[in-house]
C-alpha cells in the first residue's frame, strides 16, 4: 500500500526523492568505504536502484541508475574524485555496473507493471462476478414480488364477480406484502449507493429508544407471525441523541434477517441498555446460529450464507454495519453456546432525560 501511494506522487517529487535517496546513500557509503570497500558500495547503490524501481515511474528510476553509476565512478573507484578509471578491471566493473543498473531498473519496473496488470485483471474478474451475483439476486428478489403483484391484480380484474370478499382481501394482502418487499430492496440499493458515494451524514436528534424498538417490531409484524419476538420496555432508559432513521434501519435489517433465516417458532429477544458511550442494542435468537467459518463474512456486501434457502440480495447486514459505523459505532456477531446467534449493536450517543430536554 505504501508503494502504491508513492507511485501516486507527482513526477517532480519522484525525481527529487530518487535524487535524495542516491545522494544520502552515497554520502553514508563515502564515510564507510574504508570499512566495506568500493565494490560493496556498488551493491548498495544497486539496491537503491531496485528500491526506486519498486516505487516510482520508469524515467526517475533510469535517472537513479545513471546517477548512481556516475557517483560510484567519481567518489569510489580509484582514483577517487575524478572521472578517470585507473585499471582495465575497474573499467570493466564500471561498464558492467552501468549495464546491470539499467537492466535492473527496467526489469524491476516491468515486473511491477506486470503484477499491477495481473491485479487489475483479477479485480475486473471479481467485479464481473460481483455484478453477476447482484443481477442474479435482483432478478429473483425483484421478479418474485412483481410477479405476485401482477398475478394478484390480474386475478382480481378477471374475476371481479367470481371471487369472494375473503379471497379478494387475501390478494390485496399479497399485493401489499409484495409492495413492501419491493420497497425494501429498493431502499437497500439506494442506501448502498449513498454509502458508496460518501454522502451519508447522520442527522442527530433526541430519540425515545422504547418507542423506536416498538416501531421496528411493528414494521416486521407480518414476517413475525410464525416467530416470537420479545421486547420489554425499560422505562428508566434516558433519551439518546442519534439518527433515529438510521438506527431504526439497523434494527429493522437485523430483525428482518433473523425472521427470514431462522426456523418457525424461533424466539427472538430484543434489548436496549445504556453503556458508557451511548446505547447498546442486543438482538438474540435460539435458532441454529451461523456457520463459524462465515461469521466474518456476513457483513460483506452481497454475501449470502452458502446453506441459506431463502433469497435476498445480501445487503441488509452490510448496510446495518455501515450505518452503525456512520455513528462511530459497530456491530458484533457471535454464536450463543446454547444455540442461536447474538447481534450486539453499540451506538455512541449523548444521553439525557425528558426533564433535561424540557429545560433546554
The pLDDT of residue 54 is above 90? no
- Which pLDDT value is given to residue 322? 86
Q: All 3 cell numbers of residue 352?
A: 439525557
* Strand ranges for 193-248 from DSSP E: 205-207, 228-231, 239-242
Mean pLDDT within 158-179: 81
The pLDDT of residue 1 is above 50? no
Long-range contacts of 302-310 (CB under 8 A, 24+ apart): 302/130, 302/133, 302/134, 302/137, 304/137, 305/261, 308/261, 310/260, 310/261
The pLDDT of residue 198 is above 70? no
- Give the model's confidence band at 4: pLDDT under 50 very low, under 70 low, under 90 confident, else very high: very low
Indicate the DSSP class of residue 98.
Answer: H
DSSP characters over 15-76: HHHHHHHHHHHHHHHHHHHHHH-HHHHHHHHHHHHHHHHHHS-HHHHHHHHHHHHHHIIIII
Average pLDDT, the chain: 82
- Give the model's confidence band at 199: pLDDT under 50 very low, under 70 low, under 90 confident, else very high: low
Question: Which neighbouring-strand residues pair with 331?
Answer: 345
Mean pLDDT within 217-238: 88
DSSP, collapsed to helix, strand or coil, labels residue 175 as helix
158 vs 197, which has greater pLDDT? 158
Q: What is the pTM of this model?
A: 0.55
- Distance between CA atoms of 39 and 46, rounded to whole angstroms? 11
| Residue closest to 227 by CA, chosen among 260, 270, 180, 178 | 260
DSSP, collapsed to helix, strand or coil, labels residue 337 as coil
Fold of 205-359: Heat Shock Protein 90 (3.30.565)
Domain ranges of the chain: 2-122, 141-197, 205-359
Q: All 3 cell numbers of residue 112?
A: 511491477
Q: Which of 113-127, 272-286, 287-301 has the highest mean pLDDT?
A: 272-286
Q: How many CB atoms lie within 10 A of CB 88?
A: 8
Given strand 330-335, what is the order of strands in its sheet?
228-231, 267-275, 278-285, 341-348, 330-335
Q: What are phi and psi of 304, to 5 degrees?
A: -125, 145
Contact between 42 and 93 under an 8 Å Cβ cutoff? The reply is yes
Contact between 143 and 313 under an 8 Å Cβ cutoff? The reply is no
Which of 26-30, 93-97, 306-310, 319-323 is predicted with the least confidence, judged by mean pLDDT? 306-310
Q: All 3 cell numbers of residue 216?
A: 421496528
Q: All 3 cell numbers of residue 300?
A: 460483506
Indicate the DSSP class of residue 82.
Answer: S
The C-alpha angle 40, 45, 51, rounded to 5 degrees, equals 130
The pLDDT of residue 31 is above 80? yes
- Give the model's confidence band at 113: pLDDT under 50 very low, under 70 low, under 90 confident, else very high: confident
Q: Is 293 exposed, middle or buried (0-12, 13-18, 19+ CB in 10 A)?
A: exposed
The pLDDT of residue 353 is above 50? yes
- Which pLDDT value is given to residue 61? 82
- Which pLDDT value is given to residue 316? 79
Contact between 238 and 353 under an 8 Å Cβ cutoff? The reply is yes
- Distance between CA atoms of 282 and 221, rounded to whole angstroms? 19
Amino acid at each position: 500500500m505504501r508503494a502504491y501511494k508513492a507511485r501516486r506522487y507527482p513526477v517532480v517529487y519522484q525525481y527529487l526523492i530518487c535524487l535524495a535517496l542516491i545522494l544520502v546513500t552515497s554520502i553514508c557509503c563515502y564515510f564507510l568505504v574504508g570499512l566495506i570497500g568500493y565494490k560493496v558500495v556498488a551493491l548498495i547503490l544497486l539496491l537503491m536502484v531496485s528500491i526506486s524501481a519498486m516505487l516510482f515511474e520508469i524515467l526517475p528510476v533510469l535517472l537513479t541508475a545513471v546517477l548512481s553509476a556516475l557517483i560510484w565512478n567519481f567518489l569510489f573507484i580509484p582514483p577517487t574524485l575524478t572521472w578517470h578509471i585507473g585499471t582495465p578491471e575497474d573499467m570493466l566493473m564500471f561498464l558492467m555496473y552501468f549495464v546491470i543498473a539499467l537492466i535492473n531498473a527496467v526489469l524491476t519496473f516491468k515486473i511491477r507493471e506486470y503484477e499491477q496488470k495481473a491485479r487489475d485483471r483479477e479485480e475486473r474478474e471479481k467485479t464481473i462476478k460481483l455484478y453477476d451475483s447482484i443481477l442474479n439476486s435482483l432478478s429473483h428478489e425483484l421478479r418474485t414480488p412483481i410477479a405476485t403483484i401482477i398475478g394478484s391484480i390480474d386475478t382480481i380484474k378477471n374475476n371481479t364477480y367470481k371471487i369472494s370478499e375473503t379471497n379478494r382481501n387475501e390478494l390485496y394482502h399479497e399485493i401489499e406484502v409484495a409492495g413492501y418487499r419491493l420497497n425494501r430492496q429498493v431502499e437497500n440499493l439506494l442506501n448502498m449507493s449513498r454509502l458508496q458515494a460518501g454522502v451519508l451524514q447522520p442527522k442527530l436528534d433526541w430519540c425515545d429508544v422504547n418507542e423506536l424498538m416498538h416501531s421496528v417490531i411493528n414494521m416486521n409484524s407480518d414476517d413475525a407471525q410464525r416467530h416470537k419476538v420479545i421486547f420489554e420496555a425499560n422505562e428508566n432508559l434516558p433519551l439518546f441523541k442519534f439518527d433515529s432513521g438510521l438506527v431504526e434501519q439497523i434494527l429493522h435489517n437485523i430483525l428482518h434477517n433473523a425472521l427470514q433465516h431462522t426456523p418457525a417458532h424461533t424466539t427472538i429477544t430484543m434489548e436496549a441498555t445504556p453503556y458508557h458511550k451511548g446505547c447498546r442494542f442486543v438482538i438474540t435468537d435460539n435458532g441454529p446460529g451461523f456457520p463459524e467459518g462465515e461469521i466474518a463474512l456476513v457483513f460483506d456486501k452481497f454475501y449470502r450464507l452458502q446453506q441459506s434457502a431463502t433469497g435476498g440480495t445480501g445487503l441488509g447486514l452490510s448496510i446495518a454495519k455501515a450505518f452503525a459505523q456512520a455513528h462511530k459505532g459497530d456491530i458484533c456477531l457471535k454464536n450463543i453456546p446454547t444455540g442461536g446467534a447474538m447481534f450486539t449493536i453499540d451506538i455512541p450517543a449523548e444521553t439525557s432525560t425528558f426533564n433535561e430536554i424540557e429545560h433546554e
